[in-house]
């Protein structure tokens, strides 16, 4: 019974964080050799910004793509022209830019499965009375976050690739940041944004 209870608890608390993802790539896109990709999260929460950039950098570098977090690399925040920005990033060895931005964040009620456990009391005549007591589940308030990731390269103008992500934020931001970063890195590789490493 104890093992069954642990299993049900894992099922309840392992609900998916990422609800959906879609991607778009410009039909004319051709992968180029990139020295490095800078990951920039335009997020007000400093911890969430750092987590999203760090996780994405990790997932990309694990696949052989050189990547850097903007919070560690970008020392200037304002640029007069696109050429000024390109000249600055050239000194950093950056040829690609992935920009995350929050599109929407709203509170929502999410119903979670209810898990019940049997509670029994033995009688003096060997009888058994049982009842069911709920231990988890029910309605819960979460924040549903919709975010976009746009990919730019030095050799082209305008976004070359876009990912739309949606997921639930329930507590600390690290789980959602991890989920968004993993989905983004995986989709970038699947959609052929980089020259394959052989």
Q: For 145-160, what is each residue's pLDDT tens digit?
A: 999 999 999 999 999 9
What are the residues whose beta carbons fall under 8 Å from the beta carbon of 83, sequence distance 6 or more? none
The pLDDT-based confidence of 14 (bands split at 50, 70, 90) is very low
Per-residue pLDDT, averaged over 13-30, amounts to 79
The pLDDT-based confidence of 142 (bands split at 50, 70, 90) is confident
Q: What angle do the packed helices 174-190 and 46-62 form, to 10 degrees?
A: 40
- The answer to whether the beta carbons of residues 191 and 48 sit under 8 Å apart is no
Query: Above pLDDT 70, what percent of the chain?
Result: 75
What is residue 95's predicted lDDT score, i.e. its pLDDT?
96
Region label for 176, one of left (φ > 0), alpha (ψ between -120 and 50) or beta (otherwise): alpha
The model's pTM? 0.76
What is residue 51's predicted lDDT score, i.e. its pLDDT?
97
In the predicted structure, residue 115 carries a pLDDT above the cut 70:
no
Query: What's the whole-number average pLDDT of the chain?
Result: 81
Domains and CATH numbers, the chain: 16-112+135-190 (3.40.50)
166-176 confidence digits (pLDDT tens):
999 888 899 99
Q: Hey, which bits of 90-173 come out as E strands? A: 96-122, 128-153, 161-169
């Amino acid at each position: 019974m104890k093992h069954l209870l642990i299993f049900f608890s894992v099922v309840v608390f392992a609900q998916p964080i990422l609800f959906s993802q879609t991607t778009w790539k410009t039909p004319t896109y051709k992968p180029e050799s990139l020295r490095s990709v800078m990951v920039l999260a335009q997020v007000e929460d400093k911890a969430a910004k750092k987590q999203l950039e760090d996780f994405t950098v990790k997932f990309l570098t694990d696949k052989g793509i050189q990547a850097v977090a903007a919070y560690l690399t970008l020392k200037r925040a304002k640029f007069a022209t696109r050429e000024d920005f390109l000249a600055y990033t050239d000194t950093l060895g950056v040829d690609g830019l992935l920009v995350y931005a929050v599109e929407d964040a709203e509170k929502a009620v999410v119903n979670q499965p209810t898990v019940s456990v049997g509670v029994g009391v033995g009688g003096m005549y060997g009888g058994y009375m049982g009842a069911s007591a709920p231990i988890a589940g029910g309605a819960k308030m979460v924040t549903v976050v919709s975010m976009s990731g746009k990919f730019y390269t030095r050799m082209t103008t305008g976004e070359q690739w876009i990912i739309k992500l949606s997921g639930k934020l329930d507590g600390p931001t690290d789980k959602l940041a991890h989920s968004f970063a993993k989905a983004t890195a995986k989709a970038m590789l699947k959609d052929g944004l980089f020259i394959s490493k052989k």
